[in-house]
Structure 1
C-alpha cells in the first residue's frame, strides 16, 4: 500500500507540477495582455456562482472514492445525479445573471455569467469519470488530463487576448478547459453510463455527500467573502489586483495540495481500522507537505516584491503586500490540511461540517474587520484567521478520532521554524540585491537552500527530512519501474 501510494504520489505530483507550470505561464502571459478590470469582472462572477460547483458535485465524487464497494449501477446513478445538478445550476445562472450584475452594479457581469453557466453541465458530466479513475488509482490518466486541459485552454486564452477580447479571453479559457477535461476523462474511463438503475442504492452515498457538500459550501463562502467584499466595496480594479495575488499564491498552493487528497484518501480509507499505520501515514503526509510547500511559501512571504515583479510585471506591484499575507495564511492552512484527509477517510463529514462552521465564522469576521484597511487588510485578516485555525483543527479532530496530535504539533513547529528561516533569507535577498528583481529572486531561492542546511544541523529536523527523502526515493523508484 505504501509503495502504491508513493508511486501514485509521484505521478500525481509530476502532473501537477506540469499543471502549475502552465498556470504560472498563464499568469505571466495574460497579466501582460489584460488589465485588472478584466480580471475583476471574472472574479466578480466566480466569487458568487462558484458555489454552484460545490452543489453540482454534492460531495458525490468523494463519496464514490471512499465507499468500500461501488456497483456499476450506483456509479451510473451518481453520474445522472451530478449531471442533473449541473444542468439545473446552469439554467439557474442563465436566468439570474441580471441579478448578479445588479448586485455588483456592473452590467458587463451579465453576459460573462451566462457564458460560464455551461461549465456547470460540463463539470457535472465529468464528476464520476474522475471519481472512477481516482477510485481505481489511475493516477497517470488523471495527471495527463489535468495537464492537457489547462494547456489547451491557455492557448485559447492567449489567442483571444491578443485579439483584444479582454475579459472574454478569460471566459474562453474557462470554457475550453471544461470541454477538454470532460473529453479526456471520459476517454480514459472507458465506460458509458446507462439508464438510471433503481435497484442500486445510493442513500448512504447521498448522506455522505450531503454532509461534505454542506461543509464545502461553508468553506466556499468563507474563502470567497474576501472577493465578494472587495468587489462590492472597492470595485473591479481593486478586486483585479487582489485576485492576481490570490491566484498567484492561494490558487497555486491549493492546486499543489489537492492532488495529495487524490492519493491519500483511497489509501487512508483502506487503513482506517489500523490505527498505528493510519497515524504513521498522516504524520508522514504532514511532513511531506510541510518541508516542501510550507517552506517554499516562506520564501514567497519574504520575497513578495520580486516575485510579483517577475511573475506579473511592474504594473502589479501593489499586489505584493497582499501576496505576503496570503503566503502566511497558505502556510498555516497547509499544516492543517492533513486533518481534511482524516475527516474524509474516517467518514466524519458531520464533524467536518461543525468544525468548518466555526472556522468560516472566524474567517469572515477577520476579513470584514481587515477590509477597513483596504485589500491588504483583507489579506491580513485571512492570515490571522488561518493562524487560529491550525491549532483549532488539531484539537477538534483529536477529540473525535485517534490522532497523533502531539507528533503533528511538534512536527508543524519544526516546519514553521525552517519556513521562518526561508522567509528571513528571502527578505534579506530583497535588501542585498536592491534594484534587480531577478537577482533578488535568485538570491531568495539560494536562501531556501540555506534554510534546509540549517535544518540538517538539528537532529529532529534531520530525521524529518530523511523521512521525506525516503518518500521521494520510493516514489521515483516505483515511477521508473512502471
Structure 2
C-alpha cells in the first residue's frame, strides 16, 4: 500500500509539473509566434533535429539502466556521469566543426550558424542525466517537478523579454540556454549529487548491454516523431517546416501534460514489479484505458475547434494553419492508447520487441508522409499521417496485448471503445459548427462554446457507456 501511495503521489507530482509547463507554453508560445516568422521557427526546428538525434546515441540509454537498478551505487553513477560528459563534449565539438554540411543535409544550409551556437547544449542536456536518474529511482518526482517548472518558467520569461526587445530568433536560442542551464544546476542540487572520481569498466559494460537495446528503440521512435521536419524542409521548404513545428507544438500539449508525466513514473513503477507479471499486465490494461479516456477527447476536440483555436492562440496571421493543427491533433489522438506501452516494454526487458515494432512504424510513417507531401503538400502529409497511425495503433495494440498475455478481443474492445466515443464527440461538435447550431461572435466565444458543448457531450457518453471503468479508476 505504501508503494502504491508513493506511485500515485509521483504521478500527481509529475503531471502537475507538466500542467505548469503547459501553462507557461500556452502563454509564451503564442507571444513568440506573433513576433517570429514561419522561416525562423523552421530554422530553429531544423537545427534542434540534429541535437536531438545525436543525443539519442550520446547517452546510449545508460541512465535508463540506473533507473532500473534497485540499488544506488556511487561507482556506477560516477562511471555513467564521466562517460556522458566525455561523449557530450566530443559531440559538441564535432557539430561545431561540421555545422555547414549537417545543415545542408537537412535541406536548410542557412541554419548552419545555429548549429554552431547549439553545440554546447550537449553538455547541458547530458550532464545532469545521472542526477535525474537518481531522483527517478528514489521516486522523488516532487523535486524533479520543481526544477523542471522553474527552468521552463525562467526560459519562457527570457524568451518573451528577448523577442519583445526586437531580437527575433535569439528569443528561441535564449529560451533553450536559460532552461537547459537552470535544469543542469537544479538537478544536481535536488539530487545532492557530487560526481566522484570513479570509473569502472565492468559497470559501463553492464549498463551498456541494457542501454544499447533501448537506443535502437529510441532511434526508430525518433524517426517516427522527428522525421516530419526533415521531410518538410527538404520537400516543401523552411516556412512549411515552421508552420508544422508551431502547430505540432500546440497539438502536442495534451500529450505533454498527461503522457510524458505518466510515462516518467510508469517506467520505474513497472520496473519494481518485474517479479509479478500479472500485476504488471493489470496495471498496463488500466493505464491504457485511462489515458485513452482522458487524452482522446482532448486531441480529437482540438480538430473540432481548430479554426477558432488557431486564431485565438496565435493570431489571425496563423489562421491559415488551422487544417494542419486539426489533422495533427487527430493523428496524435489515434495513438493516445499507446502511452503506457513504451515504459511497459522497456521495464519488462522487451527492448527487442520495441525496436522491431518501432522500425516498422518508422518506415510506415516516413513513407506515408513522403507520399502525402508529394500528393498535397503539408495538408496531404498530415492526412496520410492519420491514415498510417490507424494501422500503427492496431498493430501496436496487438503486439503489446500478446506480450502481456492479455485477452486479444477484450483488450482491443476495451481500448478502442473510448477512442470511438471521443471521435463521435468531435465529429458531432464539428457538424454543429458547420450546420450553424453553434454560433457566437468572435473566435474566443466560438472556442469556448465548442469546448463546453464537446465536454458536456463526452461526459454524457462516458457516463452512459463507461461508468464502471470510471468508478474503478476513481476508487483506485
What's the TM-score once normalised by structure 1's chain length?
A: 0.93
Distance 2:180 2:378 in 1: 30
Cα distance per residue 1:416-465 (max 9 Å; x no partner): 1221133124324534226521122111221212211122122xx11122
Cα distance per residue 1:310-368 (max 9 Å; x no partner): 11111112221111111121112221222212211101112211111111111111111
1:456 aligned onto 2:463: yes
SS in structure 1 of the partner of residue 98 of structure 2: helix
**Aligned residue in 2 for 1:479:** none
**Aligned residue in 2 for 1:445:** 451
Distance 1:10 1:429 in 2: 36
Question: Which of 436, 443, 446 is the aligned partner of 2:442?
Answer: 436
CA contact (8 A) 1:283 1:404 kept: no
SS in structure 1 of the partner of residue 70 of structure 2: coil
Tell me: higher relative CO, structure 1 or 2? Use CA pairs within 8 A at least 6 residues apart: 1
Cα distance per residue 1:134-193 (max 9 Å; x no partner): 010001001111111111001111111112211111111111110011111111010211
Distance 2:279 2:78 in 1: 34
Distance 2:407 2:458 in 1: 26
SS in structure 2 of the partner of residue 273 of structure 1: coil
**Aligned residue in 2 for 1:265:** 267
CA contact (8 A) 2:216 2:355 kept: yes
Change (3 A) 1:207 1:199: closer
**Aligned residue in 2 for 1:469:** 474
Question: Which of 378, 387, 390 is the aligned partner of 2:390?
Answer: 387
Question: Within 5 A, what are the aligned runs for 1:251-290?
Answer: 253-254=255-256, 256-290=258-292
Question: Within 5 A, what are the aligned runs for 1:2-81?
Answer: 2-81=4-83
Question: Which of 132, 143, 146 is the aligned partner of 2:145?
Answer: 143
Q: CA deviation at 1:32?
A: 1.2
Distance 1:12 1:101 in 2: 35
CA contact (8 A) 2:303 2:329 kept: yes
**Aligned residue in 1 for 2:337:** 335
Q: CA deviation at 1:2?
A: 2.2
Distance 2:176 2:337 in 1: 30
Distance 1:405 1:81 in 2: 43
Q: CA deviation at 1:220?
A: 1.0
What's the TM-score once normalised by structure 2's chain length?
A: 0.94
Question: Which of 187, 196, 201 is the aligned partner of 1:185?
Answer: 187
Q: CA deviation at 1:251?
A: 5.6
1:410 aligned onto 2:417: no
Distance 1:445 1:251 in 2: 16
Q: CA deviation at 1:248?
A: 0.8
Distance 2:55 2:320 in 1: 31
**Aligned residue in 2 for 1:292:** 294
Question: Which of 237, 243, 248 is the aligned partner of 2:245?
Answer: 243
Q: CA deviation at 1:68?
A: 3.1
Distance 1:376 1:218 in 2: 24
CA contact (8 A) 2:159 2:174 kept: yes
The CA RMSD measured in Å over matched residues stands at: 1.8
**Aligned residue in 1 for 2:422:** 419
Question: Within 5 A, what are the aligned runs for 1:186-265?
Answer: 186-198=188-200, 201-250=203-252, 253-254=255-256, 256-265=258-267
Change (3 A) 1:405 1:129: farther
- Consecutive unaligned residues of structure 2, counting only runs of 5 or more, are none
**Aligned residue in 1 for 2:356:** 354
Distance 1:176 1:229 in 2: 29
Aligned length: 469
- Consecutive unaligned residues of structure 1, counting only runs of 5 or more, are 472-482
Greater alpha carbon shift after TM alignment, 201-210 vs 138-147: 201-210
1:98 aligned onto 2:100: yes
CA contact (8 A) 1:19 1:147 kept: yes
Q: CA deviation at 1:264?
A: 0.9
Q: CA deviation at 1:399?
A: 3.8
